[in-house]
């Protein structure tokens, strides 16, 4: 790929609309779709979502754990899902939240951010809570191959605040320190740097100027978790154009009909366009 991740994401959001649709095949949802909670059901579910959305939404985000729970056959379905989604024109963010040190992070980088891997995705979610710098192999591999990394910064789960809003020695919150480091790494990149951040749409009073990140802001929490597209204005302020609103259950519960999934996604895109000022 000759374009950077930031350039490809900007183009996708501008042309297809600001929406990241999750692919979360948990057992209850498979059952609700009338599918078996096994590899066959998984394959049918993921294939239907890709058929319905991959040629029209900007980003698809498969949750790796829901595929991994079926072992190697589930991972094989994940590989096909990623490949088929990207072939249809959607960008893929692998939601795996990987985080470790040393050679282990290098292996994660090879698994998800190297085009030689069958799991290669446009971007990967990652946990920087072993230290922002510990994820350096992810950043460098992403930059080399035109991919991206979304680091967890301020998440919407209640347990996260105790860590993310703790204070560092210089008085900044841990989450803000992560965003500052990411912003420094993204400095000068146009239109967006390769390191994005996950910031929950249900939050308020983020102790950081999110526009200074110069990267994409993946915003889960819309729909089933209680946030609305209008809430994005309160959370993200001057960084609205860099927000990637993420919805999963709000769209997926409309399945299994392809047309119903498409209609739900279209409504979500329209609502996010209005809220973000597109």
Under 8 Å between Cβ of 223 and 264: no
For the chain, give the mean pLDDT.
96
**Exposed / middle / buried, residue 190 (Cβ in 10 Å: 0-12, 13-18, 19+):** exposed
pLDDT, average across residues 49-56: 98
DSSP-assigned letters across all residues of 232-243: HHHHHGGGGGGE
Q: In the structure encoding, which two tokens stand for residue 255, read together?
A: 């399945």
Q: Identify any residues that bridge with 63 across adjacent strands, giving them in sequence order.
A: 95
Angle at 183 between CA 178 and CA 188, to 5 degrees: 165
pLDDT beyond 70 at 118: yes
Please give the pLDDT value at position 149.
Answer: 98
Catalytic residue among 61, 97, 144, 234: 97
Active site residue 97: yes
Nearest by Cα to 55 from 86, 23, 100, 95: 86
Please give the pLDDT value at position 73.
Answer: 98
Q: DSSP label at 218? A: E
pLDDT beyond 80 at 50: yes
pLDDT beyond 80 at 20: yes
* Distance from C-alpha of 143 to C-alpha of 193, rounded to nearest angstrom: 9
pLDDT, average across residues 137-161: 96
Under 8 Å between Cβ of 66 and 49: no
pLDDT beyond 80 at 1: no
Please give the pLDDT value at position 53.
Answer: 98
Please give the pLDDT value at position 245.
Answer: 97
pLDDT beyond 80 at 61: yes
46-84 core/surface letters (b: 16 or more CB in 10 A; e: else): bebbbebbbebbbbbbbbbebbeebeeebeebbeebbbb
Q: Is 150 left (phi over 0), alpha (psi -120 to 50) or beta?
A: beta
Please give the pLDDT value at position 204.
Answer: 82
Under 8 Å between Cβ of 248 and 21: yes
- What are the CA-CA distances from residue 217 to residues 38, 152, 266, 270 (Å)? 33, 10, 21, 19
Please give the pLDDT value at position 46.
Answer: 98
pLDDT beyond 80 at 265: yes
pLDDT, average across residues 143-172: 95
Tally of domains in the chain: 1
Peptide bond just before 191 cis, omega within 30 deg: yes
* Residue range(s) defining the domain that contains residue 91: 5-276
Nearest by Cα to 86 from 149, 14, 157, 23: 23
Percent of the chain with pLDDT strictly greater than 90: 95
Tell me, what CATH number does 178's domain have? 3.20.20.70
* Distance from C-alpha of 199 to C-alpha of 153, rounded to nearest angstrom: 6
Summarize pLDDT for 217-234 with one digit per residue, the tens.
Answer: 999 988 777 889 999 999
Summarize pLDDT for 68-94 with one digit per residue, the tens.
Answer: 999 999 999 999 999 999 999 999 999
- What are the CA-CA distances from residue 57 to residues 18, 22, 75, 107 (Å)? 8, 11, 23, 30
Q: Where are the alpha helices (DSSP H) in the chain?
A: 5-16, 27-32, 39-53, 64-68, 71-87, 102-113, 136-145, 160-164, 174-186, 231-236, 249-252, 258-276
């Amino acid at each position: 790929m000759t374009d950077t991740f930031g350039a490809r994401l900007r183009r996708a959001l501008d042309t297809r609309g600001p929406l990241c649709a999750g692919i979360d095949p948990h057992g209850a949802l498979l059952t609700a779709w009338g599918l078996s909670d096994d590899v066959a059901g998984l394959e049918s579910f993921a294939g239907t979502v890709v058929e319905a959305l991959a040629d029209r939404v900007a980003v698809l985000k498969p949750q790796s754990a829901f595929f991994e729970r079926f072992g190697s056959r589930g991972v094989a379905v994940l590989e096909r899902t990623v490949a088929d989604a990207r072939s249809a024109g959607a960008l893929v963010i692998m939601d795996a939240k990987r985080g470790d040190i040393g050679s282990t992070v290098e292996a994660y980088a090879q698994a998800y951010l190297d085009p030689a891997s069958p799991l290669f995705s446009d971007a990967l979610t990652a946990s920087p809570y072993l230290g922002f710098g510990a994820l350096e192999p992810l950043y460098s591999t992403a930059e080399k191959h035109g991919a991206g990394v979304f680091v967890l910064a301020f998440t919407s789960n209640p347990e996260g605040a105790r860590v993310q809003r703790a204070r560092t020695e210089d008085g900044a919150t841990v989450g803000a320190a992560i965003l500052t480091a990411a912003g420094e790494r993204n400095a000068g990149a146009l239109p967006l740097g390769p390191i994005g951040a996950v910031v929950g749409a249900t939050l308020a009073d983020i102790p950081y100027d999110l526009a200074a990140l110069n990267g994409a802001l993946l915003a889960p929490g819309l729909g089933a978790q209680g946030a609305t597209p209008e809430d994005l204005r309160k959370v993200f302020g001057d960084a609205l154009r860099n927000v990637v609103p993420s919805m999963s259950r709000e769209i997926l519960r409309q399945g299994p009909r392809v047309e119903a999934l498409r209609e739900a996604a279209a409504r979500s895109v329209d609502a996010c366009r209005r809220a973000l000022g597109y």
